[in-house]
Amino acid sequence: MNIGSSLRVLASACLALLSSVASADDGCRGAVDQPSISFITYPSPNLAATSPANATLTIEGKLSLPAALVAPWRCETGRHSRKMPAVVILHGSSGVDSRGDFYERALNAEGIATLQIDMWQARGVTGIADRPAAPILTYPDAFNALAFLAARPDIDPDRIGVLGFSWGGVVSLAAAEQLYSGEFGGGRKFAAHVANYPVCWGANDTSIPALNPPAQKGTQFLHLTGAPVLIQIGSKDSYDNGTAHCVALAASVNPSNGNVVSVNQYIGATHAWDRLMVPETALDPFADEGSYFRTGVLPTVVITPDVAQAYLSRERVARFFAKHLIEKR
């Protein structure tokens, strides 16, 4: 055999080997940047039920598993596979919108699974006008999402966080309170919390009959579970009228709770600055520090997207969850 023939044989052998490796990898991994997305349901108690017929809600959600972690789970049959950290994502009063997917992409890129849930669909809610009377009625949805994820063999039950926007931010904040963890979660708790613009003035507030007492109708935030909590708020927020309420709330609970609450402030940002959709205004009785309950006049909420601060916020949130769900294993 001459040298040319030998080289051709060697090249063919190498190509065959590479082809077999590639085929095995393709069959195991798929596209490296494509998450595994599925749509799930789970039951949650309806605290506003008027009869046994509607005592249980069926909550729908979008589960997104990072490709980098899905592959080992699928391929390492019979061997130890890594369990993923996860984050439950909770929408605001407008329902599921661009914010969920926006943060989902960054969290998935960090190797964190996400579960976006729809608290409105099961209740037939279309927006602010017909949403539940108070966020506490949706607290069970978050804790049952936690239970759903914790029961999965590919999720680490001790590394599940929660991220919420506005209404969902209130829920995320409240989920860090021992009272609600015990009442709605059976003692199960989230490992980390992010609350974006969570109407801080309403926490522990007793001035509004509809929210009093906070433990039963509003949001008690006094005795925390010990998990880290990050609050993010804009200086032009239409609900809190700035950042002072959130800063004061953190300062009030930190001394007796191990300094677990931190606040990121976004100068010039309105409520929902990270909602990268067309600007909008809305009427909400809980805006303007709840002025409606004193004046009877519905205050206006201004929502102006801020692209630069939205991406900064997303980076900070991804880094926060990476630190508390991945690095602290």
Residue 65 has pLDDT above 90, yes or no: yes
What pLDDT score does 282 carry? 95
Using 50, 70 and 90 to split pLDDT, how confident is the model at 82? confident
Compute the half-sphere exposure of residue 263: CA atoms within 13 Å on the CB side of its CA: 22
Secondary structure (H, E, C), 72-95: HHHHCCCCCCCCEEEEEEECECCE
Choice between 67 and 243, residue whose per-residue pLDDT is larger: 243
Nearest to 200 by CA among 286, 269, 283: 286
Q: For a pLDDT cut of 70, what percent of the chain falls above it? A: 85
The predicted-structure confidence for 287-313, as pLDDT tens digits, reads as follows 999 999 999 999 999 999 999 999 999
Choice between 329 and 65, residue whose per-residue pLDDT is larger: 65
C-alpha R_g of the chain: 23
What pLDDT score does 177 carry? 98
Q: Which CATH superfamily is domain 32-47+59-70+82-276+308-327 in?
A: Alpha/Beta hydrolase fold, catalytic domain (3.40.50.1820)
d(CA 237, CA 75): 47
What pLDDT score does 68 carry? 67
d(CA 153, CA 106): 23
Burial label for 197, CB within 10 Å (0-12, 13-18, 19+), is buried
d(CA 315, CA 323): 12
> How many C-beta neighbours within 10 Å does residue 283 have?
13
The predicted-structure confidence for 98-137, as pLDDT tens digits, reads as follows 999 999 999 999 999 999 999 999 999 998 999 999 999 9
Fill in the amino acid letter for 248.
A
CB 116 within 8 A of CB 62: yes
Average pLDDT over residues 253-281: 98
Nearest to 209 by CA among 130, 290, 146: 290
Between 2-6, 67-71, 94-98, 138-142, the lowest mean confidence (pLDDT) is in 2-6
The predicted-structure confidence for 181-240, as pLDDT tens digits, reads as follows 999 999 899 999 999 999 999 999 999 998 999 999 999 999 999 999 999 999 999 999
Using 50, 70 and 90 to split pLDDT, how confident is the model at 27? very low
Using 50, 70 and 90 to split pLDDT, how confident is the model at 264? very high
Average pLDDT over residues 248-255: 98
Residue 1 has pLDDT above 70, yes or no: no
> How many C-beta neighbours within 10 Å does residue 271 have?
25
> How many C-beta neighbours within 10 Å does residue 95 have?
17
Fill in the amino acid letter for 156.
D
Between 20-34, 165-179, 257-271, the lowest mean confidence (pLDDT) is in 20-34
Residue ranges of the domains in the chain? 32-47+59-70+82-276+308-327
What pLDDT score does 210 carry? 86
d(CA 244, CA 255): 18
Secondary structure (H, E, C), the chain: CCHHHHHHHHHHHHHHHHHHHHHHHHHHHCCCCCCEEEEEEEEEECCCCCCHHHCEEEEEEEEEECHHHHHHHHHCCCCCCCCEEEEEEECECCECCHHHHHHHHHHHHCCCEEEEEECCHHHCCCCHHHCCCCHHHHHHHHHHHHHHHHCCCCEEEEEEEEEEECHHHHHHHHCCEHHHHHHHHCCCCCCEEEEECCCHHHECCCCCHHHCCCCCCCECCCCECCCCEEEEEEEECCCCCCCHHHHHHHHHHHHHCCCCEEEEEEEEEECCCCCCCCCEEEECCCCHHHCHHHHCCCCEEEECCCHHHHHHHHHHHHHHHHHHHHHCC
What pLDDT score does 64 carry? 98
